[in-house]
């Protein structure tokens, strides 16, 4: 089969023929039809992000495809099924605290690296081998629609955060980082889950206005000034009532003051979800007042990715018409032009934009 192979950090991906994957028990082979190229893929492949990858590797986190081969332990899947390949692969020998690797992308720790040595190759290929439990049925779609369904990979991240916070219909949410790629996805997901309104602080007037255009008056934009106290007050006013859940997905470059201003808008007994990158690039960590957390009974959830059943539940939201994949604008490339796709993704990042490979 043809694949894009990362042989060394800092080198272009090599487009070449490699052996077809051979499945064992508990594994499925999927013909890849469409897969996302993340905006920061070039930073991963250059080594700038220092992601844990055992080279050489076929990169690519998850994708959309059709089942080619199933194992003897698969009782619901059938050859030809349209599926989403969930890249969050978990070890099977510790259900309470499994090791995790993002197939074709990065491992979290030493255990994840051991797992990666088997489930190593990702979706920048004509076929990929996926753990049976990571293959999620989509129902009937067309080949053209597979491109749009790649948005699941982006939407799943904030969905995992909101599941951890037990977001309920009718609640008020604040998304810190709403003008970014994952932040704008969080706005869409919160509304699909029944949030009464979503407060969207940010500095990008164009994106804030676009969120209102897409989702209506349930979106409450706030233009940030940079003054922590003033911004916190403006966010509370925009909510027009208690803020039940604050979701943070700010990147590493953002000041901790901005993040803290948003987090401390949450009501007593409210929940905070941390899924952003504060502190990952060095510098000061997030300083939250112990007495404020304790006396207000605030629950803080650190969340990485999402639970195993999240993809199936999110697919149901799409099928119910509550979450619109058509909000995403996609630019597609074939496998021979993978390096061009990586460059395009970096230059054209933003809310509701995708770069997609069509192997």
Encode pLDDT of 176-186 as tens digits.
999 999 999 99
- pLDDT score recorded for residue 277: 86
Which H/E stretch holds residue 65? strand 63-69
Provide DSSP, 81-97.
-EEEE--EEE-SS-SSS
- pLDDT score recorded for residue 255: 86
Give me the average pLDDT of each 10-residue run along the chain (359 residues): 97 97 94 97 93 94 97 94 97 92 92 92 98 97 97 97 98 96 97 98 96 97 94 96 97 88 97 90 83 97 95 97 96 98 96 97
Long-range Cβ pairs for the range 339-347 (8 Å, 24+): 339/4, 339/12, 339/13, 341/37, 342/13, 342/37, 342/41, 342/42, 342/45, 343/42, 344/37, 345/37, 345/38, 345/39, 345/41, 345/42, 346/39, 346/40, 346/41, 346/42, 346/43
138-169 per-residue burial string, b: 16 or more CB within 10 A, e: under 16: beeeeeebbbbbbbbbbbbbbbbbbbbbebee
pTM across the whole model = 0.95
- pLDDT score recorded for residue 172: 98
Q: Supply the CATH classification number for the domain 156-302.
A: 3.40.50.720
- pLDDT score recorded for residue 145: 97
- pLDDT score recorded for residue 108: 81
Locate CATH 3.90.180.10 in the chain.
2-151+328-358
Q: Supply the CATH classification number for the domain 2-151+328-358.
A: 3.90.180.10
- pLDDT score recorded for residue 164: 97
Residue with tokens 């007593």: 268
Angle at 357 between CA 114 and CA 327, to 5 degrees: 110
d(CA 253, CA 251): 6
Locate CATH 3.40.50.720 in the chain.
156-302
d(CA 71, CA 38): 30
Show the tokens assigned to 41: 């893929």
Pairing mode, strands 106-107 and 100-102: antiparallel
Neighbouring C-alpha atoms within 13 Å toward the C-beta of 157: 22
DSSP 208: H
């Amino acid at each position: 089969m043809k694949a894009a192979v990362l042989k060394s950090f800092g080198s272009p991906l090599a487009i070449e023929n490699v052996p077809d994957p051979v499945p064992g028990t508990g594994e499925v082979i999927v013909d890849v039809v469409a897969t996302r190229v993340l905006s920061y893929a070039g930073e991963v492949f250059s080594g700038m992000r220092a992601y844990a990858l055992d080279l050489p590797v076929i990169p690519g986190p998850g994708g959309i495809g059709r089942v080619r081969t199933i194992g003897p332990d698969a009782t619901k899947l059938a050859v030809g099924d349209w599926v989403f390949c969930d890249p969050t692969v978990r070890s099977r020998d510790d259900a309470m605290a499994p090791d995790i690797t993002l197939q074709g992308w990065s491992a979290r720790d030493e255990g994840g690296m051991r797992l990666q040595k088997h489930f190593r190759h990702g979706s920048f290929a004509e076929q990929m081998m996926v753990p049976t439990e990571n293959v999620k049925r989509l129902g009937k779609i067309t080949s053209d629609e597979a491109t749009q369904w790649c948005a699941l990979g982006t939407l799943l991240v904030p969905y995992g955060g909101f599941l951890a916070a037990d977001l309920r219909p009718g609640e008020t949410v604040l998304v810190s980082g709403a003008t970014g790629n994952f932040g704008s996805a969080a706005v869409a997901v919160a509304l699909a889950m029944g949030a009464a309104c979503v407060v969207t602080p940010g500095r990008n007037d164009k994106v804030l206005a676009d969120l209102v255009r897409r989702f209506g008056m349930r979106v409450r934009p706030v233009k940030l000034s940079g003054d922590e106290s003033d911004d916190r007050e403006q966010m509370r006013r925009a909510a027009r009532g208690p803020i039940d859940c604050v979701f943070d997905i700010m990147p590493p470059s953002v000041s901790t003051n901005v993040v803290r201003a948003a987090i401390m808008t949450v009501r007593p007994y409210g929940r905070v979800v941390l899924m952003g990158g504060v502190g990952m690039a060095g510098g000061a960590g997030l300083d939250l007042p112990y007495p404020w957390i304790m006396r207000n009974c605030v629950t803080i959830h650190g969340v990485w990715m999402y639970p195993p059943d999240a993809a199936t539940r999110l697919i149901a939201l799409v099928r119910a018409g509550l979450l619109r994949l058509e909000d995403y604008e996609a630019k597609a490339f074939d496998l021979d032009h993978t390096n061009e796709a990586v460059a395009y993704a970096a230059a054209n990042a933003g809310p509701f934009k995708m770069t997609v490979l069509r192997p």
